[in-house]
Amino acid sequence: MSGSDLFTRLKAAAPEAWASYTDHAFVRGMADGTLPQGAFRHYLAQDYLFLTHFARAYALAVYKGRTLADMRSAARSVSAILDTEMSLHVRLCTSWGLSEDDLGRLPESRATMAYTRFVLEAGLRGDVLDLHVALSPCVLGYGEIAAGLASRKGALSEANPYRGWIEEYSGTPYQAIATDARKHLDDLAERYLTPARFPEIVTLFEQASRLEADFWQMGLTLSS
């Protein structure tokens, strides 16, 4: 296990929390198209608000970075969210009848507030490794989940209303983002992770994964 990358080690150390997120009923419903469309629409709207806060988290990573390479990596992530991912997200939302103006006026759900503030607080309290570990279930998890869904029979069928989401996150551009984030996490671990610190970041990863599961649940139950 010591030879595995950090993301693999974190998943292995928190299997129940990771499964609660990656094998959630919301995810399974996207795979076979049985997820209620109202649930997906509610999730999409909250995910727009979620992304604005994650751009702020990466801006914090610029501030927390101890090297120019770290700062430039975080700055690229801010740009990727604001200039690419949010544009793709708005396009997806528009196809579901949600305009950008509509999205900007929405109140945040409790699940959105809980997760995004958790990540920001983790970064404010800790160092750049803490912040990237808290971000990793989202950044790397979406890539892993979508790639798994894309491999399932019928998931990319034109009859599946969630085909667009699966294609967006399983596609080459996002998978490249996830690969870079995974490598950067390892680079940070090499510099800042000690054996004594590992249980602390496992706890952070586990908490973030459960908050991701809560975000799916928020969409599924249409909760505010």
The single-letter code of the amino acid at 210 is R
pTM: 0.93
Residue 204 pLDDT > 70: yes
Q: What is the CATH number of domain 37-221?
A: 1.20.910.10
What is residue 83's predicted lDDT score, i.e. its pLDDT? 87
Q: What is the DSSP letter of 193?
A: -
* Tens digit of each residue's pLDDT (9 = 90 or more) over 14-26: 999 999 999 999 9
The pLDDT score that the predictor gives to residue 88 is: 81
Output the pLDDT for position 3: 61
Asked if residue 152 lies in contact with residue 163, where contact means CB atoms within 8 angstroms, the answer is: no
* Tally of CB atoms within 10 A around 213: 22
Q: Give pLDDT, residue 1.
A: 42
Please report, in angstroms and rounded to a whole number, the separation of the first and last CA atoms in the chain: 40
**Assigned token pair, 115:** 């997760």
Asked if residues 176 and 76 have their Cβ atoms less than 8 Å apart, the reply is no
Q: Is the separation of the CB atoms in 118 and 208 below 8 Å?
A: yes
Q: Is the pLDDT of residue 176 over 70?
A: yes
Q: Are 9 and 1 in contact (CB under 8 A)?
A: yes
Least confident among 76-90, 155-169, 174-188:
76-90
CA pair distance 129, 132, nearest whole angstrom: 5
pLDDT at 2 (0 to 100) = 52
Query: Residue 101: CB partners within 8 Å, gap ≥ 6?
Result: none
How much is the average pLDDT of 207-214? 98
Q: Confirm if 114 and 220 have CB atoms less than 8 A apart.
A: no
- Between CA 221 and CA 182 the distance in angstroms is 32
Q: Mean pLDDT in the chain? A: 94
Where would I find the H helices in the chain? 6-13, 15-22, 25-32, 37-64, 68-79, 86-95, 100-104, 110-125, 128-150, 163-170, 172-192, 198-221
* pLDDT exceeds 50 at position 167: yes
Nearest to 136 by CA among 87, 77, 191: 77
Which residue has better confidence, 84 or 44?
44
pLDDT tens string 37-75: 999 999 999 999 999 999 999 999 999 999 999 999 999
Share of residues in the chain with pLDDT > 70 (%):
99
Q: What is the mean pLDDT of residues 84-101?
A: 87
| Of 189 and 99, more confident | 189
